[in-house]
Structures are given as structure tokens and as C-alpha cells.
Copies of this chain bind each other. A is one copy, B any other.
Amino acid sequence: MLKPADDSFAEILRNRLPEGAFRPLEPRYLEEPRGRFQGQGGLLVAPANTAEVALVVRVCRDASVGVVPYGGGTGLVAGQVMPEGPAPVILSLERMNAIREVLPEENVLIAEAGAILENIHTAAEAAGRLFPLTLASKGSARIGGNLATNAGGVNVLRYGNARDLCLGLEAVMPDGTIWRGLSRLRKDNTGFDLRNLLIGSEGALGVITAAALKLFPLPAARATALLAVPDPQAALSLLALAGDLLGPSVSAFELIGGQGLAFLAETGLRERPLFDAPTPWCVLIELDLTESDDPSAPLEKLFVAAMERGLVEDGLIARSEAQRNEFWDLREMLPEANRRIGSISSHDISVPLGAIPEFIHRAGRAVAGVGPLRVNCFGHMGDGNLHYNIFPPAGKSRQEFETDRPRLNRLVHDLTHELGGSISAEHGVGRLKLSDLQRYGDPVKLAAMRAIKNALDPTGIMNPGAVVPTENRG
């Protein structure tokens, strides 16, 4: 049984850590962006270095006090907020935000877990390099959290997700020992893959304190287009064609539905229509090029080939950085439009690429069976990752459909599961999807997860209730 981080426990920690490690527990540490989970308190500790993190974890382990690692607080599945149970230590990495080293010739950057993602971008660019992991919350998300949740974003198609961009980790294990695995190696086959076990474990197996990250050459140019496609099947064929014609230069392939464009108009986020005729679907495609002369040429080639095959109906190629930004704004305003309209339920799913058209078709039919609802389906099609959000009809509010949420959740996830998909493509499990994982997860994998959790964290102090249910342990 875990114990609360009460006054006497705080006293123990205060005797062993500098005063600077203790900060006021502002409300933001108990909240999460979607407002569905609310922390009940805890002791906020912000260590200055890895040794202090190790000390905190050791003291917590000895006292059976839970530890909730806290990065930028931008996670969408409440991995960073513990709404029940004895008050934990909230272990914020905010003071460990140094970029320790940039090695452009090796294409490596070493950052502490609390480094803000956007600052890592800046440091890489200053050395003529690209760190390609990027997402909407880059200005506040911290790399430790990005790795703990194996963050995705818009560049996964070409560069991979957080997991693929990490060469080595330094981490504090649940017993307070420090794993010094900050390797810069591209190849290392010495034993079980502890790095990938910690990445994506959402703080349930340890606290990441620093990471060695992969850098890439900065693209000499970027080329960006919006292509109107008749349906998701055409978008899928366009993706394959782009791979054949343009190879690894395709860095983003985002699907945008006509409903999303309509939402932008409805919410006033964008007045002017993009294409002459309304389009049911469009694709935002971007290339990272190593040549800067005539960057539009490859997209023109793709456009012509796709027109010949009937895959696209119209298209716009960005002729300036301003136009490129306009295209991306369109994509990136979709979440804001969704927020303004107010979704009944939101889903971060992935299915095998070939199953995307079937998923969209069948999910649409099933949702229509519940009522005259609207669906904004968009996302990282190149990765098979769709954000599938369901809204009330025009003029109605989400509150009227509150009781439909569990049913909608169930039908979207049932279909995802039937098609061999994942109910959490890039956001993680956290606490929000804990019961969904128990329902849909492979039982052998779930058993292995429990065994590993018990083996590495027998006291169950690490992020209690996240990813692995507390009741099944011990």
C-alpha cells in the first residue's frame, strides 16, 4: 500500500535536498489540457540534477510514496495527473532543462529531460541541424515527457517518432539507481533493450533524466502542397505513389476532411475557401529536399502522375514561405476549430494503412446510426494515425449528447480493434485509456507488462495508476 507524501515525509526530503528543490504546488501541476482529470494534491519537488532525482526516488521507495513524473504538462491522457490515491511526490523536471551538448558532425544532441522541445529545435538549428520531432505543444512540452510518451507529430512518416529519434537515455529506476545509458551509438547489441522499454512507459518504470537525440541535416528546401482528393482510398494511393516517385523526401502527409474545412469557416478561423469547388478530402504533403533549385518540381511531377491516375482533382503548390505557412495554419487550426465547436468524443487511433478507407467508411456509418452527428476526421495519414472527433449537429451543444459518449467511444474503438488498429496511436495510455487498454490489449502482452512492472517497481511507486492498473499488481 502506498502512503501519502505528508508533512513528516516532506520533512525527510527537506532535510536531504536543497531548499531550491521545493516549489509551490501551483494549480497547473494538478490539471491536464482536456480538463477531465484533476489532481488532489501532492508534494512538488523540482530537483536540480540527476543525483537529486535519484535521491527523491530512493526516499519515496523507502517510504512507499508514489512519484508522478512531470514534464511540460501537455500530455493528453492524464499520465501527469493522479486524481486519486495517497498524495504523491510530483517530480518536476523543469529545472533540468540544459542542452548538455550539440555534436553536429555526429548528428547528436544531448539534452536534459526538462529541455523544452522548441529549445532543442533552436539549438539544433544553430548548429545547422534538424531535430524533427515536432508537435503543437512544442513551446511547452519537455523532451523527457515526449520520450516517456513516445510522442509522434507531423514528421513521423520520414523521421520516426520519439522512440526512433533517441540513441540513449539516462534514467532513474524505481529503486533510485541511475542507469547511465546516455549512449551516442547508432548500433549497440549488448543485452535487452532497456532504452525502448523506458521510452513509452509513461513514467511507470522510471524517470528519464536525459537523452541523446538524433539530429539530421537541415533540408536545403521544403516543398509543400495541398491536393484535393475524391476519397480516402485515393489519398492512400497518392501516399504510395508519392513514396514511389519521391522516396524518402516525403516528410509529412496529412489528411484533412471537408468537415474540418467547413468547421474552419463555421468558427471564422478561415473565411476564404481554398479550392474553387468544395472538396470532400484533401492532403497536405511536404517534402524535405536536399537540393534547393526548383523545389516545386517534384511536387509537380507527383501532381501530374496523380492526375493521370485520377487520384487528385485539384491542387495548390506553395510558391512562398507565406503560402506554406498558410497551408500549415489550416492544418494546425483544426484542433482549435474542434475546441470551439466542442466535441462529444475524441479519438487518437491508428489502423493499418490499407484499412484507413474502410475505417473511415464504417466508422462514419456507425456514428450516423447514433444520430445526426458530425465527424471531423484528420491526421497523420502517412502513419495510419487519424484523429477522429465526433461533434453535435450544427446548432446543438455537446452537453445534449453527453450520454452518447460511452457508446461512441466504444464503437470507434471496437472498429479500430477489429481492423487491427490501436486505440492510442501517439498520445499514450496514461490514466484516460487504462480501461480501454485492459479491454482491447493482448492478454499476453498485458501479463508481460504486469510482470515487468512488478519486477522493476515492486513497491508500485512509479506513476501509480498510469499504464498498468494498480489493482492487478503486488
A contacts, CB < 8 Å to B: 103-108, 128, 149-150, 152, 156-158, 160-161, 163-164, 173, 177-181, 183-194, 196-197, 199-201, 204-205, 216-217, 219, 236-237, 240, 243-249, 288-290, 350-354, 380, 382-385, 420-429, 433, 437, 440-442, 444-449, 451-456, 467-468
A447: chain B residues at CB < 8 Å are 177
> How many of these chains are in the complex?
2
B105 contacts A353, C-beta separation under 8 Å = yes
Q: A290-B247, A427-B189 are in contact. Are A448 and B173 (CB under 8 A)?
A: yes
A152: chain B residues at CB < 8 Å are 187, 189
Output the least CB separation between A243 and chain B (Å).
5
Chain B residue at minimum C-beta to C-beta distance from A104 = B240
Tell me, in angstroms, the Cα distance from A454 to B164 when the chains sit together.
Answer: 28
Output the least CB separation between A144 and chain B (Å).
16
- 5 more CB-based (< 8 A) A-B contacts, given A185-B420, A247-B290: A105-B354, A173-B444, A185-B421, A192-B467, A248-B249
B205 contacts A200, C-beta separation under 8 Å = no
A205: chain B residues at CB < 8 Å are 192
Q: Which of A163, A177, A186, A199 has the most CB of B within 10 A?
A: A186
Output the least CB separation between A41 and chain B (Å).
28
A188: chain B residues at CB < 8 Å are 350, 422, 424-425
A385: chain B residues at CB < 8 Å are 186-187
Output the least CB separation between A210 and chain B (Å).
14
Q: Which of A103, A181, A187 has the most CB of B within 10 A?
A: A187
Chain B residue at minimum C-beta to C-beta distance from A205 = B192
Tell me, in angstroms, the Cα distance from A149 to B219 when the chains sit together.
Answer: 34
B103 contacts A449, C-beta separation under 8 Å = no
A351: chain B residues at CB < 8 Å are 185
B185 contacts A422, C-beta separation under 8 Å = yes
Q: List, sorted by A's number, 13 A–B pairs whose CB atoms are closer than 8 Å.
A: A163-B196, A179-B444, A180-B442, A190-B422, A190-B429, A191-B449, A192-B467, A194-B445, A196-B197, A216-B243, A246-B290, A247-B290, A454-B455
Q: A192-B200, A451-B456 are in contact. Are A352 and B106 (CB under 8 A)?
A: yes
Chain B residue at minimum C-beta to C-beta distance from A161 = B187
Name A187's contact: one of B107, B190, B380 (CB within 8 Å). Answer: B380
B187 contacts A426, C-beta separation under 8 Å = yes
A105: chain B residues at CB < 8 Å are 236-237, 240, 353-354
Output the least CB separation between A286 and chain B (Å).
15
Output the least CB separation between A189 and chain B (Å).
5
Shortest Cβ-Cβ A-B pairs, 9 listed: A247-B290, A455-B455, A196-B196, A188-B422, A184-B352, A186-B383, A451-B455, A187-B425, A179-B444
A446 contacts B191, C-beta separation under 8 Å = yes
Tell me, in angstroms, the Cα distance from A419 to B163 when the chains sit together.
Answer: 24
A425 contacts B240, C-beta separation under 8 Å = no
Q: Which of A128, A243, A380 has the most CB of B within 10 A?
A: A243
A191 contacts B456, C-beta separation under 8 Å = no
Q: A105-B354, A196-B196 are in contact. Are A441 and B186 (CB under 8 A)?
A: no
Q: Which of A150, A180, A452 has the most CB of B within 10 A?
A: A452
A164: chain B residues at CB < 8 Å are 160, 164
Chain B residue at minimum C-beta to C-beta distance from A348 = B189
A449: chain B residues at CB < 8 Å are 191-192, 194
B240 contacts A179, C-beta separation under 8 Å = no
